[in-house]
Amino acid sequence: MSGYLRALVIALAVPVLNHLFMGLAGFLQLRSWSGTWGEAIRAGAQAPLNYALVQAASVGVIFIVAFPHRRRDGGLLESVHVRPLVGGIVALCFVAGAFMQLPLAEVGNLVQEVWPVSFDELARRHRLINPKTWWGGVSALLALVLVAPVTEELLFRGWLLQDLKEQYGETRALIWSSALFGLAHLEAAAVLYAALGGLVLGAVVLRTKSTLASIAMHAGVNAVALLLPATLIRIEGFNTLSQEVEHISWWLLLVAMAGAAGALRIVWRSTEVEA
């Protein structure tokens, strides 16, 4: 099996396993096996903690089954390029990721103009990042800011990007691993903004030589959705819920892109010697 095809199979295993484990979680939550699989998925998706458990289980299974034995000898963290960074680079990556959230969210808005998402699905996502209880908030934080960044970055940037780089070089590895990161998200809007985000995350890992940088950046992207609810500051097209597609104001997008570019510029300059 070629490196491209192997990486494709591994990447697509993520949504397949997520679907399987979420369904099982839903049946356990319903305490009955008499319902349909769709009903079980919807029931499981009501609990934010299930997202963390499902994601961790899916990526864990993939690592156990398919991670190359030749990469295991140096220890788990080193095998997926989790290496310490100095000079506040991790914090800068988190800040860059936080600024990136708005431009990526607007990409999703633009895609929805062509491939709209149902209002029910939008409402479900809105509830996920706007929990009504403290436990819901902790669960969402655990799922979106800890488990998702760690598992996805270890898989796509710590494993697939590095393996593809060894076989095809940095440029092809970056493009293919980013495309796979997008495909793993399945839905049209998510595919595009995940792929674009993956390009930046992959470039940061290649520059810093550490997936710790992309984990921090990914966490920054996801954290903003929880840290900026509409009750704190209303941003149309980002944290509002509407039947119509809304768009983020152009001046906010410019500020966000400038902030991300500034933080990344410092990261690039700080890692010039190591690169």
**Residues 70-127 pLDDT 10s:** 777 778 889 999 999 987 999 999 999 999 999 999 999 999 998 888 888 888 888 8
CB 147 within 8 A of CB 56: yes
Q: How far is 121 from 130, CA to CA, in rounded Å?
A: 14
Q: Report if residue 2 sits inside a domain.
A: no
Q: What are the backbone angles phi and psi of residue 179, rounded to the nearest 5°?
A: -65, -40
Mean pLDDT, the chain, integer: 92
Q: How far is 36 from 20, CA to CA, in rounded Å?
A: 13
Q: Which two tokens stand for residue 113?
A: 């103009």
Range of the domain at 197: 72-270
Q: What are the backbone angles phi and psi of residue 184, rounded to the nearest 5°?
A: -65, -15
The alpha helices in 31-88, defined as continuous H runs, are 37-44, 48-66, 76-79
Q: How far is 45 from 25, CA to CA, in rounded Å?
A: 9
Q: Report if residue 26 sits inside a domain.
A: no
Q: Report if residue 19 sits inside a domain.
A: no
Q: How many CA atoms lie within 13 A of 200 on its CB side?
A: 27
- Does the pLDDT at position 265 exceed 50? yes
Q: Report if residue 79 sits inside a domain.
A: yes
Q: Report if residue 10 sits inside a domain.
A: no
Whole-structure pTM value: 0.94
Closest-CA residue to 143 (of 47, 66, 71): 47
Q: Report if residue 39 sits inside a domain.
A: no
- pLDDT tens-digit series, residues 223-264: 999 999 888 899 999 999 998 999 999 999 999 999 999 999
Closest-CA residue to 205 (of 256, 170, 229): 170
Q: Report if residue 18 sits inside a domain.
A: no
Q: Report if residue 33 sits inside a domain.
A: no
The region, left, alpha or beta by phi > 0 then psi within -120 to 50, assigned to residue 69 is alpha
